[in-house]
Amino acid sequence: MLDTQVPCADCPTAGALASARPGPGGAVVARSRRRLPDAAAFALLLSVIVFFLASSSAPTPLYATYQAEWGFTPITTTVVFGIYAVAVLAALLVAGRLSDHVGRRPVLLGAVGLQIGAMIVFTTAAGVDELMLARVVQGVATGAAAGAVGAALLDLSARHGTLANAVATPVGTALGALGAGVLVQYLPQPTHLVYDVLIGVFVVQAIGILLMAETLATARPGALASLRPRLGAPRAARLTLLGVVPALVASWSLAGLYGALGPSLVRLLAPSAGVLTGGASLFALAGSGAVSVYLVRSIPARTVLLLAMPALVAGLGIALVALSSGSLALFFVGTVVAGLGFGASFTGGIRLTVPFAAEHERAGLLSVLYVVAYVAMGVPAVVAGFLVVDGGGLLATAQGYALVAIGLAVVATVVLLVTGRSRGGRTVRV
C-alpha cells in the first residue's frame, strides 16, 4: 500500500513550499496550491512511464504490416527499432539531469508534448521516412521523461518508487506489445487506431501533470550547464554500478532481440501465426519480467541479480532448443523463463544502485542505468538486422544472438560475485 498521508505543513515537501518562489540561484522549486494528493500523483507518474514504454513497443506487432505495405527488408525493421534507442540515448545524455535543476514537472510536460507529436506522425505515416521520424521523436520524449519521472517517483516514496521504477518497464513493454496486437488483429485501421488511443491517454496525463505539485523540494542552479552531454554516477554508487552493468547488458540485449525480431521468429516457427501471436513473444518476455519484479521484491538486491542470470541462461537455452526443433510452444516457454531473468535483473540493478544517490543525483543515476539498457537493446538489434540479410539468415542470427547473451550472463555473474566481495558482501535493502 502507498503512504497516502500528505506531509506536514512544516515539512520541506509540502505546505511550507506551497507558495515558494525561486531564489536568486533558482534553489527552490515552487509548488502549486492546487495539487493532486500524493497517492494520486504517484499513480499518475507510474502511468506516464508505463504508457511511454507501451508506446515504444506498440509498433512491434505492426512491423510485418509496414513491411508488407512499404516493401522494406529486415534491415530496415531493425534500423527503425534501433533508431529509437539512439534517440533515447541522445535525450538521456542531454536532458537526463535537467529535472534535478528545473524540477520534474516542466520536463515531464515537455516530454508528454513530444510524445503526442510522435503519435500524430505515426498515425499519419505514409512511408519509412515518417516511421523513422516518429521513432526519433518518440525516443527523445522517452529519454527526456525517463530520469524525471523515475526521480519524481522516488521523491514521493523512496521505497515504493524503487519498486515502481523497476516494474514499469516490463509492464509498459508488455502492455504495448499485447494491446497493439489485439487492436491490429481485431479492429479496423490497424496502423492508426493504436496511436489514436495513445494520443488520448497522453492528453489526459498532461492535464494530470498540470494539476500535480512539483515533487523536487530543492533544485540546483546550472540548468543550462546540465544540458552538456555528460554521463556520470555519484561516486558512492560507482563500484556497485560496475557490478550491475554487465547484468543490464545481458538482459536488455535480449529485449532488443525480441523487440526487433520476435514476430519474425514466431512466423518462422509457425508461418500461419497472426499479428497477435507475433506480438505475444515480446509480451511473454516482458510480462513474465513484470511478475518476477513482484516475486523478488523482498529478496536482497544482489541476490536478485545473481538469481536473474541463471534464469536468462536457462530461458535462452530452452529457446535455442525450440528454434532447432521448430517448436513454437517450447519457444514461448523459454521466453517466459528468460523474461523472469529480464525483470529480476532490472529491478535488482535499480534497487542496488539507487540508495547510493542523494535526491539531487537520482535523475542522473537513473539516466545512466537507462543509457546502459538502451545501448544494450539497440546496437545488437541493428547488427542482427544486417546479419539476417547479409549473414546466415534469421535462424542462424537468432541462435548466435542467444549464445552471445548467454555468455554475457555468465560474465555478469562473475562480475557480481567479484564486486560483492569488494564491498564485503554489504548491500542496501530498499
Predicted confidence (pLDDT) per residue in 193-237, tens digit: 999 999 999 999 999 999 998 887 666 666 676 666 666 677 777
Mean pLDDT of 142-158: 86
pLDDT number for residue 428? 39
Query: At 324, is the secondary structure helix, strand, or coil?
Result: helix
CA distance 93 to 62: 29
pLDDT number for residue 221? 67
Residue written as cell 548466435? 400
Residue written as cell 512544516? 10
Strands (E), 81-155: none
Mean pLDDT of the chain: 81
CA distance 239 to 227: 25
248 touches 369 (CB < 8 A): yes
pLDDT number for residue 415? 86
Q: How many CB atoms lie within 10 A of CB 206?
A: 17
Grid coordinates in use for 55?
Answer: 508506446
**pLDDT tens-digit profile of 55-87?**
988 887 788 788 888 888 777 887 887 888 888
Mean pLDDT of 13-32: 41
Residue written as cell 508505463? 50
CA distance 205 to 45: 9
Q: Per-domain residue ranges for the chain?
A: 32-214+233-422
Percent of the chain past pLDDT 90, that is, above it, reads 29
Mean pLDDT of 31-45: 79
CA distances to 18, 142, 211 from 31, rounded to whole Å, are 5, 25, 10
Distance of CA 425 to the CA centre of its chain: 29
- Give residues with Cβ within 8 angstroms of 12, minimum separation 6: 217, 218
pLDDT number for residue 325? 93
φ, ψ for residue 10, nearest 5 deg: -90, -10
pLDDT number for residue 148? 86
Q: Which of 6, 413, 17, 125 is nearest to 249 (CA)?
A: 413
φ, ψ for residue 406, nearest 5 deg: -60, -45
Query: At 218, is the secondary structure helix, strand, or coil?
Result: strand
CATH superfamily of domain region 32-214+233-422: MFS general substrate transporter like domains (1.20.1250.20)
Long-range contacts, 184-188 (Cβ 8 Å, 24+): 184/61, 184/62, 184/65, 184/275, 184/276, 184/279, 185/61, 185/274, 185/275, 185/276, 186/276
Grid coordinates in use for 185?
Answer: 488483429
Q: Does residue 344 have a pLDDT over 50?
A: yes
φ, ψ for residue 217, nearest 5 deg: -70, -45
